[in-house]
Amino acid sequence: MNISESKRLFNEAQNFIPGGVNSPVRAFKAVGGNPLFIKKANGAYLYDEDGNQYIELINSWGPMILGHNHPMIREAVIKAMEEGTSFGAPTAKEVEIAELIVSMVPSVEKVRMVNSGTEATMSAIRVARGYTGRDKFIKMEGHYHGHGDSFLIAAGSGAMTMGDPDSPGVTKGTAKDTLLAPYNNLEAIEKLVEANRGEIAALILEPVPGNMGLCLPNEGYLQGLRDICTREGIVLIFDEVMTGFRLAKGGAQELFGVTPDMTTLGKIIGGGMPVGAYGGKKEIMEFVSPSGPVYQAGTLSGNPIAMAAGLTMLNHLNSHPEVYTRLNEIGQKLTDGIGKVNQELGLDYTINLLGSMYSLFFTNEEIHDFETAKKANTGMFGKYFQAMLHRGVYLAPSQFESLFLSTALTDELIETIVTAHKSSIQEIHKNQ
């Protein structure tokens, strides 16, 4: 595989950009090798600067649920561009997308648009604190909520991958208000609540965490959290930046039938443009400025290009339930194929799947939280990643990420991926 142009660009980039990338997860630090510099993408494929083509299972870390460069989204963006790129004033599209989100996401009665998932979670915590008059909040180990200071403690995703789940630069003063709990353990929450009664503003979690690899909630876990939060007056926040509009049109909260008080959104909501949002009960969202005292703002929030892309995406998902049927089918077929190959080879690696999100863990143990996820063999994953890449399949370059499938994956492409998986997994075990 010739990747000379990607190599040249990475060398150049390292002179001017920290680590040569604008987000750490893009570097191949955990898997070795040179990150690929991408020139364009279409449907199920990415193309690098050297002209290599890859079948893509990251999809911009989630947003491209219909595949890349979808004509419908592209046309909406071009049309919006013709009318100007930013006004810093309200627009009709913002009203339309807000109404649509409220109609799609069960917990959301009012919603505020921001520019990233990070902004959404930072703002949601501030609002929950303002609403309750309490300072502390509970966060799950290995969950990732963007790079706001108070979340960079036992953080998943790139922070976990790079071995820095507790980032320097976060003050002790900030960190003391973040209470940590293991995922899938209601007893641990009860203990934290007991020890901090009346002081906890919020409990935030990824209902189906994808940032320590994909994990699934135990039966009754989400409802258990709901019950504790209701009893204790704690604002329950589902961070659905990944799962929103993906696991169902109303996200994990629709799928599991558990309604949080607030929800954070991102990724798909912008159709690939930089967008996030947070919303929830009217009573809580009324605390947001200018209707209430909790300040939160943004020069480019509700940007007309981003709103045009997002509106087109959400309208499509809202009116095409068959998208979810197909996404679930793709997830099932692909992981069935991978699982069958593994079985034939006598390998019992754990595959966690929900809808169009999955992770293949290089361990035979069940993975259901931060501690168990850390048992996966990251060295083996790195070899697997490279083997797949050389066969034209682009995976997330870390064991501690979920993969995101798109409707652009045909049955034929699923077969191609399974074939690549078979020869990759054979190769890495032969060389052991």
Ligand X SMILES: NCC(=O)CCC(=O)O
Ligand Y SMILES: Cc1ncc(COP(=O)(O)O)c(C=O)c1O
* 158 vs 251 by CB, closer to ligand X: 158
- Whether 48 is a known active-site residue: answer no
47 φ, ψ (degrees, to nearest 5): -125, 130
For Cα atoms 212, 216, 219, give the angle at the middle one, nearest 5 degrees: 145
Site membership for ligand Y, residue 369 (CB under 6 A): no
- Which of 6, 59, 107, 116 touches ligand Y (CB under 6 A)? 116
Site membership for ligand Y, residue 161 (CB under 6 A): no
Q: By C-alpha distance, which of 15, 14, 58 is closest to 34?
A: 14
Amino acid in the structure at residue 279:
G
In the complex, what is the shortest distance from the CB of residue 15 to ligand X, in angstroms, rounded to a whole number? 21
In the complex, what is the shortest distance from the CB of residue 118 to ligand Y, in angstroms, rounded to a whole number? 3
Site membership for ligand X, residue 64 (CB under 6 A): no
154 φ, ψ (degrees, to nearest 5): 45, 45
In the complex, what is the shortest distance from the CB of residue 239 to ligand Y, in angstroms, rounded to a whole number? 5
* 63 vs 304 by CB, closer to ligand X: 63
- Which of 145, 226, 391, 422 touches ligand Y (CB under 6 A)? 145
Site membership for ligand X, residue 23 (CB under 6 A): yes
- Which of 264, 401, 403, 420 touches ligand X (CB under 6 A)? 401
Would you tell me how many other CB atoms lie within 10 Å of the CB of residue 323?
19
**Residues ≥6 apart with Cβ < 8 Å to 53:** 45, 46, 47, 392
Go through the chain and tell me how many residues it has.
432
Examine residue 290 and say whether the peptide bond preceding it is cis (omega within 30 degrees of 0). yes
Site membership for ligand X, residue 61 (CB under 6 A): yes
Residue 401 interacting entry, from ligand X, ligand Y, none, C-beta within 5 to 8 Å by type? ligand X
Contact 108, 279 (CB under 8 A): yes
Q: Where are the alpha helices (DSSP H) in 35-81?
A: 71-81
Q: Which helix (H) or strand (E) holds 415?
A: helix 411-430
In the complex, what is the shortest distance from the CB of residue 429 to ligand Y, in angstroms, rounded to a whole number? 31
Amino acid in the structure at residue 250:
G
- Whether 149 is a known active-site residue: answer no
Site membership for ligand X, residue 395 (CB under 6 A): no
Site membership for ligand Y, residue 117 (CB under 6 A): yes
Site membership for ligand Y, residue 123 (CB under 6 A): no
- Whether 144 is a known active-site residue: answer yes
What does the alpha-carbon distance between residue 398 and residue 160 come to, in Å, rounded to a whole number?
10
* 21 vs 193 by CB, closer to ligand Y: 21
* 23 vs 343 by CB, closer to ligand X: 23
For strand 262-266 and strand 235-239, is the pairing parallel, antiparallel, or unpaired?
parallel
Residues 200-219, one symbol each (x = binds ligand X by CB under 6 A, - = not), give: -----------x--------
Q: Where are the alpha helices (DSSP H) in 258-377?
A: 282-285, 304-319, 322-344, 370-373
Marked catalytic residue, from 136, 249, 267, 422: 267
What is the set of active-site residues?
A: 144, 239, 267
